[in-house]
Amino acid sequence: MAIKGGRGDEKKAQIRLEWELVPILHTRLLNGQEIICCCGDKVTTTYYRFDAKNRSNGKQDVLFAADGCARKLLGIAPAIAPLPLFDPLQAPPVRRNRGAGGGGANGPVMHPFNRELYEAIHLLLMCWGRPPSAGGPLAAILADIRQAPGISLPDSAAKSVNSVIKSGQRTLTAMLQALPPQTPSMRTFTFPLIRQALSRHREQPTSWV
C-alpha cells in the first residue's frame, strides 16, 4: 500500500523524517490509468514514484507524488536530486555532452544503450500501469543507470529486460499499439541497440521489444 498522509509541508517533512525516499520513476500518466498522490489528490499529468524504506523498522513501501508534491519532497533537507521527465509523447531534449557527468538541468548525458534500456523499462511500466517490483531486475537496472548513466551496462541487461517483457506474453511494440490514442502522437521507439545486444547473447533469445 502506497504511503499517504502527505498533504501540507509539515506532513511532507514528517514523511522525509520517517522514510528514506529513492526516486525511481518520473513519467506521465497515460489514458485510463489512475494514481493517487501522497496528498490524497488524483494525479492528472506527470508524477514521481519513490521507493521508501522506514528509517526505524526497515519496512519497504512506495510513494506516488504529482510533480508539485514531488518537488517539495525532493527539496526538504537533505535535498534529493530530481529525475528527468520521461515523456513518450514528446521528443527527448537535445543534449550536448559537456564532459563526464555533463547534462545540465536534464541530468547527466546517458549512454545510448542505457537510454534504450531506460526508455524500454519506462514504456513497459507505463503499459502495465504499475511500478517495478522493489528489488526486481527492472528497478536494479534503473538504479545502475542512475549511478553511472554514461557507462554502458552489459548486454545481459538487455536479456533481463527482454525476459520481463516476455513474461507478459506480448511484445512491447504490441502493448504500445494497444494503448488508447494519445495526443500528440507517441514518438517511435525501435531499440536497435537492445536488439543487437540480444543477438550477441549466447542464448540469442527472441526479441520481445
List, in order, residues 6 or more apart from 123 with CB less than 8 Å away.
88, 172, 175, 176, 189
Tell me what pLDDT residue 102 has.
Answer: 37
112-129, pLDDT tens digit by residue? 999 999 999 999 988 886
Q: What crossing angle do the helices spanning 9-18 and 67-75 adopt, rounded to 10°?
A: 60
Strand partners, 50: 23, 63
Parts of the chain with a pLDDT under 70: 31-32, 91-108, 129-135, 181-184
pTM: 0.79
Antiparallel, parallel or unpaired: β 60-66 and 46-54: antiparallel
Distances (CA, A) of 70 to 29, 33, 75, 107: 15, 19, 8, 17
d(CA 50, CA 177): 28
Task: Return the closest-CA partner of residue 190 out of 107, 127, 126, 112.
Answer: 112
